Amino acid sequence: MSIQSDQSDQQTHPLDDLLRKDRIPHIWCPGCGIGTAFSACLYAIKSSKLDLDHVSMVSGIGCSGRGAGYINLDSFHTTHGRAIPFATGLKLANPDLTVVVFSGDGDLFAIGGNHFIHAARRNMDLTVICVNNLNYGMTGGQVAATTPHLAKTTTTPAGNPETPFNLPLLAYASGATYVARWTILHTRDLTESIGEAIQKKGFSFIEVLAPCPVNYGRRNKLKPLDVLRIYQEKSIIKHFASPSELHLDLEKGITLGKFVDQDKPTWLDMYYKTTRKKS
Amino acid sequence: MELWRIPLDRDHIQTMQGVVYILDERCKGCGYCIEFCPKKVLGVSKHFNRKGYHPPIVKHQTECVNCHFCEIICPEFAIYSKPLSVTESQNPQVTV
């Protein structure tokens, strides 16, 4: 039995059929968690047995926004913060599509925050995957709406004086029908969760915690492997925990799991019911 | 893998054997696969790839149980495992 570990070009990774191989290796830094979250998303799409001609991915701007450029399906890289409005239009123009929004915390919750809460309120049939790396990674590590209190960033060298968003609570309060949070280390649960969210009718939201070694990690003395060890030691899986009692903190732990899974009529259902009544 | 006790059915459960394939040129040397392999199959190699990173190397091939964890944790799509084909396997009756 001879095992070659360094063979070459004929080798094909199981996801190569879903990747634009000419763009790989991607731009994400060594140790960045977006690649793992993206890979979990691709595995979930692959195992969902959906017709891939009817699956599309939409991304906004930022590191995670590159996702749409690497997937070998119909995808669109939109302007900053406008991934959800674009996805909404895509879904309404062609309700047969399965639309996945893959973007970052800055794009979805800072500049695109308003679009997020309104899409969740309307219960648009979208799957939103938010890679949360706790800062604005691509622009140089500035403080974001999700940066933990007292964390150091380029714009808060003395520590962040603000309180971050609790993203699952925001999604739940706005009316999302499926809310979950995982880290990139819990990638099996994450893949399963994304698969469930894709099948789920209604607005599904999954927050994925990922390390940002170059910007957030360097300023807070967190090496990528140490962040993953923290995820391993400090995370507590609590399904259906109340979204208002979730922790994202090194002392109290990181609460993970599926928090909300409810059924509600989607925007299209309501629209057909009220506006296009059959006479 | 560390176990608290030896499983009672250890004698008659056959584990799957896997082969790890590494796409060296895609690797950026983050070390996630090496650190989180439950069987500690992988190690850091001494050689560099074209971009100057140290890709992982298979150290204990026979230990691999084809759990695919390296494959799904890798952010670079640079490593994957496949079950050892039955003809090559020493245990032809492979069960998960």
- pLDDT, tens digit, 9 for 90 and up, residues A42-62: 999 999 999 999 999 999 999
Q: Is B24 on the interface with A (CB under 8 A)?
A: yes
**What's the CATH number of domain B20-82, 3.90.230.10, 2.90.10.10, 3.30.70.20, 3.20.20.70?**
3.30.70.20
| Contact between B74 and A35 using a beta-carbon 8 Å cutoff | yes
What is the rounded average pLDDT of the residues A83-96? 95
pLDDT at B87: 47
What is the per-residue pLDDT across A194-218, written as a single tens digit (0 to 9) for each? 999 999 999 999 999 999 999 999 9
pLDDT at B94: 42
Q: Whose CA is closest to A183, among A249, A104, A240, A257? A: A257
The CATH code of domain A24-274 reads: 3.40.50.970
What is the rounded average pLDDT of the residues A131-151? 93
Cα distances from A199 to residues A85, A202, A257, B21, in angstroms, run: 21, 9, 18, 32
pLDDT at A249: 84
Indicate the pLDDT class of residue A11, thresholds 50, 70 and 90.
Answer: confident
pLDDT at B96: 42
A249 against A138, higher pLDDT: A138
Quote the CA–CA distance of B40 and B34 in Å, as a whole number: 7
pLDDT at B10: 81
Q: Which residues of A touch B (CB under 8 A)?
A: 1, 3, 5-7, 11, 13-16, 19, 24-26, 28-36, 38-40, 43, 184-185, 187-188, 191, 224-225, 228
Q: Judge whether residue A20 has pLDDT over 50.
A: yes
pLDDT at A91: 95
pLDDT at A156: 95
pLDDT at A250: 77
Chain A residues closer than 8 Å to B71 by CB: 13-14
Quote the CA–CA distance of A236 and A252 in Å, as a whole number: 10
| Domain assignments of chain A as residue spans, ordered by start | 24-274
The mean predicted confidence, pLDDT, of chain A is: 92
**Residues A207 and A132 sit within 8 Å (Cβ to Cβ):** yes
| Domain assignments of chain B as residue spans, ordered by start | 20-82
A8 against A157, higher pLDDT: A157
Cα distances from A123 to residues A114, A193, A202, A258, in angstroms, run: 14, 19, 5, 18
Quote the CA–CA distance of B23 and B80 in Å, as a whole number: 9
| Contact between A33 and B75 using a beta-carbon 8 Å cutoff | yes
Looking at residue A142, what DSSP letter applies? B
Indicate the pLDDT class of residue A121, thresholds 50, 70 and 90.
Answer: very high
Q: Judge whether residue A77 has pLDDT over 90.
A: yes
pLDDT at A230: 93
What stretches in chain B show pLDDT beneath 50?
87, 89, 91-96
Q: Whose CA is closest to B36, among B78, B67, B10? A: B67
Q: Is B48 on the interface with A (CB under 8 A)?
A: no
Q: Whose CA is closest to A214, among A140, A279, A163, A162? A: A140
What is the per-residue pLDDT across A169-188, written as a single tens digit (0 to 9) for each? 999 999 999 999 999 999 99
Q: Which residues contact A142 (CB under 8 A, 6 or more apart)?
A: A135, A136, A153, A154, A155
